[in-house]
Structures are given as structure tokens and as C-alpha cells.
């Protein structure tokens, strides 16, 4: 009976522990089911499909976008498709991660150059005075489309990239050009090619412009973060999409001297926010809005769908209640990228306390920090403190899975799922400014990296300052870039 006075104290301690358990990580964990699908090779690219296929598509949404006079729609392919018949799934994936590292470094260098104090110009080749970096490495673009150039149209693969502004392609005669899969475009064989005069407003809008005094034509130069350069004549030309949809007078660089760039594609269709990007140029006709939806090329059932891009009114889904919109921010130092504000991340239904807005916020005065949505980066990078907090929260919710020691390439959190057909993993939700939330499918953050059932947490840390929402996390979402209303939207199951 002497211990009786301690019973109320013990009961109080029990209640305290219970409250902590209910309000802490011990609350019921919110889970998603991941189907264990091993890494596969992507579907091989079908040559010249855009020249022969009908405008009709199976999906009503896509058909509406294609045939509307106020919208433009076409399919995208991933560059891994070019390797499907010559490399193993592991080799293709490792090459993708290598490109990803180069891409992130290119973003870092581009932003660092933009934030650096004057002088910002250097003397380039053939008398150009140009910025050191005016775009991302074209070799790091991940998606491309088959586009007709000129009249009559000559079809070629062109990379589409939200991290670049200038539209350009290789042209004959070519002094120094890289290998591409299609014949090099010859402007002399096109009825609609026109050189831009030296004093024209289009020429003055270039970051680096020169003048060919013999032809009295504007000369352009674009330098990329990896040291690659394209130089040639600035011009206007007709582009044809899906064989019959013509867009006239697109300003583009006709490159006669191109070094160190992406092998196979003929050039680049810049989708950035700059005034000379493709969306900016066609904004008067189609509105300043576009969207894309990226399909997981290695998952089961991916062959039934295509990655697509839509320009114009149809780019904005009618079912607006399904779209998580957040304000589109602009970096005053670099106008190319699409910035958003990431306010937090939840794992298993609970906010991760270590993911701080201060680590993810854009500083307009310096141009540093912030979060960009990028089509050409595969793996989402978060400022290192935010990433480490996210990773630790995810690991705490996966103690029932067998860890794979040593990590894999840039991933430090991996699991051995051999013998499993499905597993339960904590939910991951991205919280955006304005109150929107994006709940990612499990296959968008725990991905296969080999054919031996190794799966890794598809996020990584970065010390570069800028965080990037990559295309693995975007898969299956229609990502809307609506510059008319200054917003970015993500709609699940949008393909």
C-alpha cells in the first residue's frame, strides 16, 4: 500500500506518453501501394511516325487539342528511345543519371553567371560579344519531337526544353556540325526561309548578335553551360507539326558552326519564358500557355500512351478542380526558368519539420535559391537540409523494407524488393504556395534502377542553391504553364 501514492503519477506519465504518441510520428502512417515492376528498356523509337500518322488520336482530349485552330498538339519521345535497341536497361538508366548531373551543373552555372556582377560579356568567336551562358546544355534535354522545317517540310528531331529560350537547328552548308539522325536542313531548298536583316528588331533582341556584312543578315550565337556553342544566321521559317499544322515565321537560328551538342537531334525548340522562346513567339495566336504530360516509358502499360505537349487554350484542362495551381514566380536575373514556391513536404501524412521554406525560397535581389519546374532534369533536387529531412522521414516509414546498402549512383536510399510483387510505402505530398498539394504516386518516388529488384528513393540533395522538380516526379501529371494568369498547375492522371 506504500506504493499507492505513486499510481496517479504513473497514470499521468502514461497519458503523457499516449499524447506524444498520437501527435508525433507514431500516428497511423498514410501509405501507398507500389507495384514492384523491374527496370525495363523503353520502347524503341518508330522512325518518321509523325510524317505518316493521322491527326486523329484515341483520346478525346488530344483530338480536341490537335484539331482546334487555337491550339497545337503533338507527341513527345524520350531520348532513351534512341538507345532501346543498343543498350541494356541498366546502361540506359546510368546514362540518364549522368546526363542529369550535367544538367543540374548547367543550371547552377547559368544562374551563377546571371547573378555575378558585371562585366558579363566575353569576346566570342568571329567577333561576337556574348554572355558566357545563355542556355542549358542542349545535350541535357530529355524529350524531343519530330518537326517539319521549311516549305516543303523536311522532318527532323528537335529537343523541347523548358530550360532554354532560343529555337535553332543545324543548317547546310555546315562548317562544323555534330552527327544527327536526319539530313541537315538546307535553307536554300525552302520557299519560306528568310534571313533576318542586321538592323531588325528581332536581331536586337538577341543576347549575342552580329552582322554578316556581305549578306546583310543577322548572326546569332548561343553558348551553353557545358562549353557548347551554336553560331549561324538568324532567320524566320515555317514549322510543321503532325504533318499538316503549319506555324509560319518562327524566328530561329540556322546554325552553320555547332560544336559539342546532343547527337541525333537536329536542334532545339526552347520552351522557356524568354521573349524569343517558341511559346513567347506564338503567344499572340495561341495564348501564352502550354502544357505537357510525360509518360513513364519503362512501366507496364506505358506503350498505350504517349507523352504529349499542347500549346494554346486546350493546354489548360477544363476540369480545373483537379489541377493543383500555384503562382508562377520569375527570377529577375534569369527570365528563362519557371519558378514556383514549395512550402513544405509531408511524408506518411505528417509535415516534415526539417523542410523549411527558408531553404527553398527565391531571393529576387540575388537570383539565388528557389524551386524550378524543369522538363530536362530527371531526379528532383532539393536544397540539402530539406532533402536530408525528407529522406530521413521516408526511411523512418520504411523500416519493414530490406535496405540495399551502398546506394546507387546519386541515390543514397535504396531497397531490395526481390521476391515482392507489391509493397506499402509512406505517402509523399508536395505543398505549394496558395494552398495546393500534390500527392505523388508511389512509382514517382520509389523507382527501379536495375533488373535485380533494387528500388531507390528518387530525390537527391543539392548544394547549388536552386531546387528542381524533375520529370520523374512529374510523370503522369499534366503540367500547365499558364503565363496569362502567372500560374503553374499539375493535374494527376493527365495523360
Query: Does an H or E element contain 391, and which?
Result: helix 384-396
In angstroms and rounded to an integer, the radius of gyration of the C-alpha atoms of the chain is 25
Name the β-bridge partners of 408: 411
Q: Which long-range contacts (CB under 8 A, 24 or more apart) does 436-439 make?
A: 436/324, 436/325, 436/326, 437/324, 437/346, 438/324, 438/477, 438/490, 438/492, 439/492
Tell me if residue 463 is catalytic. Answer: no
CB 267 within 8 A of CB 158: yes
Angle at the Cα of 257 from the Cα atoms of 256 and 259, rounded to 5 degrees: 140
Q: Is 420 exposed, middle or buried (0-12, 13-18, 19+ CB in 10 A)?
A: middle
| Catalytic annotation, pick one of 182, 226, 374, 450 | 374
| Catalytic annotation, pick one of 161, 182, 258, 296 | 161
Give one DSSP letter per residue of 345-360, joined into a string: EEETTEE-TT--HHHH
Q: Are strands 209-212 and 217-223 parallel, antiparallel or unpaired?
A: antiparallel
Nearest Cα to Cα of residue 298 among 404, 378, 376, 377: 378
Residue 447 C-alpha cell reads as: 523507382
Tell me if residue 374 is catalytic. Answer: yes
Residue 99 C-alpha cell reads as: 546526363
List active site positions: 161, 374
Amino acid at each position: 500500500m506504500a506504493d499507492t501514492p505513486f499510481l496517479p503519477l504513473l497514470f499521468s506519465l502514461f497519458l503523457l506518453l499516449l499524447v506524444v504518441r498520437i501527435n508525433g510520428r507514431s500516428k497511423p502512417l498514410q501509405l501507398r501501394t507500389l507495384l514492384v515492376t523491374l527496370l525495363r528498356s523503353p520502347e524503341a523509337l518508330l522512325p518518321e511516325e509523325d510524317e505518316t500518322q493521322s491527326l486523329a488520336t484515341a483520346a478525346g482530349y488530344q483530338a480536341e487539342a490537335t484539331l482546334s485552330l487555337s491550339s497545337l498538339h503533338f507527341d513527345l519521345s524520350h531520348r532513351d528511345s534512341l538507345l532501346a535497341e543498343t543498350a541494356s536497361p541498366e546502361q540506359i538508366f546510368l546514362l540518364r543519371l549522368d546526363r542529369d548531373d550535367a544538367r543540374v551543373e548547367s543550371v547552377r552555372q547559368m544562374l551563377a553567371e546571371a547573378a555575378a556582377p558585371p562585366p558579363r560579356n566575353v569576346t566570342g568567336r568571329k567577333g561576337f560579344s556574348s554572355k558566357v551562358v545563355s542556355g542549358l546544355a542542349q545535350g541535357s534535354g530529355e524529350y524531343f519531337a519530330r518537326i517539319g522545317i521549311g516549305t516543303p517540310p523536311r522532318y527532323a528531331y528537335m529537343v523541347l526544353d523548358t530550360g532554354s529560350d532560343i529555337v535553332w537547328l543545324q543548317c547546310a552548308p555546315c562548317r562544323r556540325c555534330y552527327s544527327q539522325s536526319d539530313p541537315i536542313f538546307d535553307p536554300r531548298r525552302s520557299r519560306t526561309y528568310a534571313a533576318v536583316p542586321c538592323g531588325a528588331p528581332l536581331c536586337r533582341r538577341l543576347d549575342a548578335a552580329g552582322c554578316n556584312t556581305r549578306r546583310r543578315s543577322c548572326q546569332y550565337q548561343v553558348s551553353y553551360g557545358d562549353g557548347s556553342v551554336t553560331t549561324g544566321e538568324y532567320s524566320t521559317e515555317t514549322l510543321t507539326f503532325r504533318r499538316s499544322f503549319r506555324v509560319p515565321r518562327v524566328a530561329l537560328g540556322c546554325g552553320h558552326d555547332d560544336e559539342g551538342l546532343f547527337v541525333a537531334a537536329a536542334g532545339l525548340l526552347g520552351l522557356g519564358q524568354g521573349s524569343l522562346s517558341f511559346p513567347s513567339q506564338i503567344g499572340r495566336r495561341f495564348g501564352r500557355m502550354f502544357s505537357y504530360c510525360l509518360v513513364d516509358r519503362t512501366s507496364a502499360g506505358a506503350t498505350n500512351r504517349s507523352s504529349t505537349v499542347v500549346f494554346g487554350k486546350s493546354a489548360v484542362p477544363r476540369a480545373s478542380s483537379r489541377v493543383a495551381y500555384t503562382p508562377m514566380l520569375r527570377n529577375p536575373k534569369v527570365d528563362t526558368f519557371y519558378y514556383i514556391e514549395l512550402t513544405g513536404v509531408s511524408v506518411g501524412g505528417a509535415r516534415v519539420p526539417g523542410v523549411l521554406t527558408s531553404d527553398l525560397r527565391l531571393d529576387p535581389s540575388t537570383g539565388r535559391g528557389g524551386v524550378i519546374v524543369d522538363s530536362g532534369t530527371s531526379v528532383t533536387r532539393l536544397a540539402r537540409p530539406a532533402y536530408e529531412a525528407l529522406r530521413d522521414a521516408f526511411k523512418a516509414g520504411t523500416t519493414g523494407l530490406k535496405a540495399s546498402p551502398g546506394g546507387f549512383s546519386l541515390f543514397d536510399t535504396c531497397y531490395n524488393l526481390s521476391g515482392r510483387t507489391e509493397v506499402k510505402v509512406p505517402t509523399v505530398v508536395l505543398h505549394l504556395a496558395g494552398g495546393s498539394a500534390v500527392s505523388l504516386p508511389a512509382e514517382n518516388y520509389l523507382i527501379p534502377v536495375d533488373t535485380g529488384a533494387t528500388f531507390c528513393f528518387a530525390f537527391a540533395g543539392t548544394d547549388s542553391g536552386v531546387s528542381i522538380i524533375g520529370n520523374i516526379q512529374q510523370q503522369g501529371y499534366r503540367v500547365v504553364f499558364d503565363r496569362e494568369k502567372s500560374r503553374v498547375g499539375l493535374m494527376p492522371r493527365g495523360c
